[in-house]
A and B are shown apart, each in its own frame.
Chain A
Amino acid sequence: MTKDTALEARLLGKRYGGRTRGWALRECDFALPAGRICALVGPNGAGKSTLLALAAGLLRPTEGTIHAPAREHLAYVAQDKPLHPRLSVADTLRMGRELNPGRWDDTVARRITEGGGFSSDTLVRELSGGQRTRVALALALGKRPELLLLDEPMADLDPLARHQLMGLLMADAAEHGTTVVMSSHILTELEGACDHLLLLHDGKVRLDGSVEELLAAHTLLTGPIADLAPHTVVESRTTGRQLTALVRHEGPVEGPWDTAEPSLEDLLLAHLRTTEGAPA
């Protein structure tokens, strides 16, 4: 792994339990440049959580390798936001300091817990789902990670808190150059925030690259039904005599169609809807 790569997988595979079970992740190959905000998307069961847990060092790969920063330099927030229920919020942050000596930044952590509508004496088990998310994020960012792994981080938040926390997350990334990988179902949230995309389906990487390049490589076209060769069709629909298609173009798109660059949402939905997404 070079210095500019924050996370790299080589033929990574993970199978839970015995040989009878299927692969949760298979033949994953990608390299995430440092400093990117990466969206990890895919349908349920695609292997997103498994990939994040492997990156966090919580699981051993069944095959292949994954290179991530050492434990001290990464932070991970699991989907269920695990916290010790009987510790108060203040104790939880103190725990962050005790378990990350020499790295812990209390100011950052407090900036996130403030505005959550709870005092620092509150016990974790008395917090609402959104408040838990806040504390879990505070614990992760207070550690000053180089790589931040977030599994469905915003799912429990109301739109206002989501916007505020996403802002804090982006501000932190802007200030420290933190690489962020977040899995999410909320496409609009990803649209402005992420500049890198990793699409998983059935345990395999279907799309991997910078959002800008991926969008530029695809074309959304509408018009009469005609042969789309040489372009790779990601998804096409016909309504009467009208064709709507998302293609990965080979050279300029010439034909009787109206063309447009797809939005991130167009691209994701098209790939998610087709089971055989075009491999990146």
Chain B
Amino acid sequence: MVEYRIDRRSGVATYLQIVQQTKQALRMGLLEPGDRLPTAREVVEATAINPNTVLKAYRELEREGLVEARRGLGTFVRATLGTGPADSPLRGELADWARRARAAGLDREDVAALFTSVLKEHFEGEDDR
């Protein structure tokens, strides 16, 4: 089960935060196919956000084929995302790169800035919106 944390000051739409956090949980293997997502009631009771926002986020996840709603039972995970958790080769390469960056004297913020700018360059136009 995931627990959503809503940051009202982030500037990111609330329903997108739920979508992103669900995807993150799928990538990290915290959610697996067959797992049930918390009900809208459970989410809003914990986060004090609008119920329709949760439903909108779940509809978005459903549209992307990641979850499916089963009437009267809840919303369940259908698929997993990305290449999986810790043992993926891409993660290994990124870890290598981070080690080299550190060895070259870059600090945490330098690395984050560099990473963000590369992300921006390669994923232009796919910005979540």
Contact = CB atoms under 8 A, between A and B. Distances in A.
Report if A and B touch in the complex (beta carbons < 8 A). yes
A167 B51 contact: no
Interface string A159-187: 00001101111110111000000000000
Contacts of B54: 174
Chain A contact patch, size range: 20 to 34
Given A175-B41, A192-B14, A170 B51 contact: yes
Nearest to A263: B11
B53 to A, nearest CB: 7
B50 to A, nearest CB: 5
A192 B45 contact: no
Q: Which of B6, B8, B42, B51 is packed against the most chain A CB atoms within 10 Å?
A: B51
A193 B49 contact: yes
B52 A171 contact: no
B90 interface: no
A221 interface: no
Given A192-B6, A192-B8, A167 B46 contact: yes
B50 A195 contact: yes
Chain B contact patch, size range: 10 to 19
B40 interface: yes
The B interface, classified by DSSP as helix, strand, loop or mixed, is helix
Nearest to A168: B45
Contacts of A193: 48-50
Contacts of A192: 6, 8, 14, 47-50, 53
Interface string B1-24: 000001010010010000000000
A166 B53 contact: no
B44 interface: yes
Contact of B50 (A37, A164, A263): A37
Nearest to B6: A192
B41 A188 contact: no
A194 interface: yes
Contacts of B48: 163-164, 166-167, 169-170, 189, 192-193
Given A37-B51, A195-B50, 14 more contacts: A35-B52, A166-B48, A167-B45, A167-B46, A169-B48, A170-B44, A170-B48, A174-B44, A192-B8, A192-B50, A193-B49, A194-B50, A195-B52, A195-B53
24 contacts: A37-B50, A37-B51, A164-B48, A166-B48, A167-B46, A167-B48, A170-B45, A170-B48, A170-B50, A170-B51, A171-B44, A173-B44, A174-B39, A174-B40, A174-B41, A174-B44, A174-B51, A174-B54, A192-B14, A193-B48, A193-B50, A194-B50, A195-B50, A263-B11
Interface of A: 35, 37, 163-164, 166-171, 173-175, 188-189, 191-195, 263
